[in-house]
Structure 1
Amino acid sequence: MTKNILVLAGDFVEDYEIMVPFQSLLLLGFQVHVVCPDKKSGDKVKTAIHDFEGDQTYTEKPGHNFQLNYTFDEVKPENYHGLVLPGGRAPEYLRLNEKVLQVTKHFVDAKKPILSICHGIQILTALKGSITGHNVTAYYACQTEVELAGGKYQSVAADQAVTDHNIVSTPAWPGHQESIKAFAALLGVKITHS
């Protein structure tokens, strides 16, 4: 049986944080639906490229346009086995959308696998109780939000990931190797190297 994955996106989602998980999960055989509130299948979201160039925070450049392949209003969360929350600037306003929170709550309550990348954690911090007591990581500027939401912020290198129960989190896109591997494992896929 093919497992279905839902990705919640919005304009100025981080380019690598949507492109790489989407392509990787397709490669692993999952059906992946990428959606955005107020948009339908075939519409596009703009992406932003965040890079680490020695400044006090990341720099931001225009990314690619990402074509959505499913309509947000048609999402039935019970039909999905896992949820991906990419970062960028999109989570800061997606978390204000009541249906985004309702969809996310389904995955939290059902303890289905969730992959949170960078600022993606902001959607979980907006959902009361979703990370309470959980060890999670995110972009370092989200530490205060994580702690105010009851989570236990883990300071790890950008190329690492933290797994606690059903939530896999990583500070930024350099952690894709670890975070996607851990997320896939929660979904029943074992990735080995020869």
Structure 2
Amino acid sequence: MSKKILMLVGDFVEDYEVMVPFQALQIAGHQVDAICPDKKAGQTVRTAIHDFEGDQTYTEKRGHNFTLNATFAEVRAEDYDALVIPGGRAPEYLRLHESVLEIVRHFAGARKPIGSICHGAQILTAAGVVRNRKVNAYPACAPEITAVGGEYVSLPFEGAITDGNLVTGPAWTAHVEWLKQFLAVLG
């Protein structure tokens, strides 16, 4: 059965982490509405490509433009079955929008499926929804997760973890497992 999924994005969202789930979830038959605070359907966000090239951290390059297909101000979280939060640079400033945090709290409170990957955990921690939850994210987010009472679970970069309605993974390298687990929770 087709589900209605909300995706929170912003400028410099990680390219693969927005493009791949956006398309894969549609291929699986679901409606995916991508929104960004202060932007409307038809507008774009810029993406960033994060890669692992042997440095102490990922490298970052300019990616594509990603076109939003829904208007943030018109969306009602109650109308959606699930939430997806890609990583990249966007979560560090999206978490400063109270309206973004209210959306996340709605999905958490209603126990609707939430899929978060990489730095998407920054939004989860800011929303206060990871206390007593097992969470994975890009390893640099581990201190934020534990600081708010979550349990950071270290996984291989191809892994993902499900804790109830919450499916998390470390980076785009985990898409296969992360999407499998998210689709299982989605039903």
2:111: which partner in 1? 111
TM-score relative to the length of structure 2: 0.99
Q: What is the CA distance between 1:2 and its match in structure 2?
A: 2.7
Q: What is the CA distance between 1:149 and its match in structure 2?
A: 1.2
Gaps of 5+ in 2: none
Rounded Cα–Cα distance in structure 1 between residues aligned with 2:85 and 2:66: 15
Q: What is the CA distance between 1:127 and its match in structure 2?
A: 1.3
Rounded Cα–Cα distance in structure 2 between residues aligned with 1:125 and 1:86: 14
- For residue 48 of structure 1, give the secondary structure of its aligned residue in structure 2: strand
2:137: which partner in 1? 138
Q: What is the CA distance between 1:37 and its match in structure 2?
A: 0.3
Q: What is the CA distance between 1:3 and its match in structure 2?
A: 1.1
Q: How many correspondences in the alignment?
A: 187
2:47: which partner in 1? 47
Rounded Cα–Cα distance in structure 1 between residues aligned with 2:124 and 2:48: 21
2:60: which partner in 1? 60
- Matched residue type, 2:75: V
2:153: which partner in 1? 154
TM-score relative to the length of structure 1: 0.95
Q: What is the CA distance between 1:5 and its match in structure 2?
A: 0.2
2:174: which partner in 1? 175
- Matched residue type, 1:139: Y
- For residue 92 of structure 1, give the secondary structure of its aligned residue in structure 2: helix
Rounded Cα–Cα distance in structure 1 between residues aligned with 2:2 and 2:53: 40
Partner deviation per Cα, 1:102-135 (whole Å, 9 max, x = no partner): 111100100100001000000010012x111111
Rounded Cα–Cα distance in structure 2 between residues aligned with 1:9 and 1:127: 16
Rounded Cα–Cα distance in structure 1 between residues aligned with 2:174 and 2:2: 25
1:191: which partner in 2? none
Rounded Cα–Cα distance in structure 1 between residues aligned with 2:176 and 2:26: 15
Rounded Cα–Cα distance in structure 2 between residues aligned with 1:142 and 1:88: 12
2:184: which partner in 1? 185
Rounded Cα–Cα distance in structure 1 between residues aligned with 2:105 and 2:133: 15
Rounded Cα–Cα distance in structure 2 between residues aligned with 1:156 and 1:109: 26
Rounded Cα–Cα distance in structure 2 between residues aligned with 1:181 and 1:79: 24
Rounded Cα–Cα distance in structure 2 between residues aligned with 1:21 and 1:86: 9
Rounded Cα–Cα distance in structure 1 between residues aligned with 2:46 and 2:12: 5
Q: Which runs of 4+ in 1 moved over 6 A?
A: none
- For residue 112 of structure 1, give the secondary structure of its aligned residue in structure 2: coil
- For residue 138 of structure 1, give the secondary structure of its aligned residue in structure 2: coil
2:85 equivalent to 1:78? no
- Matched residue type, 2:8: L
- For residue 126 of structure 1, give the secondary structure of its aligned residue in structure 2: helix
Rounded Cα–Cα distance in structure 1 between residues aligned with 2:185 and 2:120: 18
Q: What is the CA distance between 1:101 and its match in structure 2?
A: 0.5
- For residue 106 of structure 2, give the secondary structure of its aligned residue in structure 1: helix
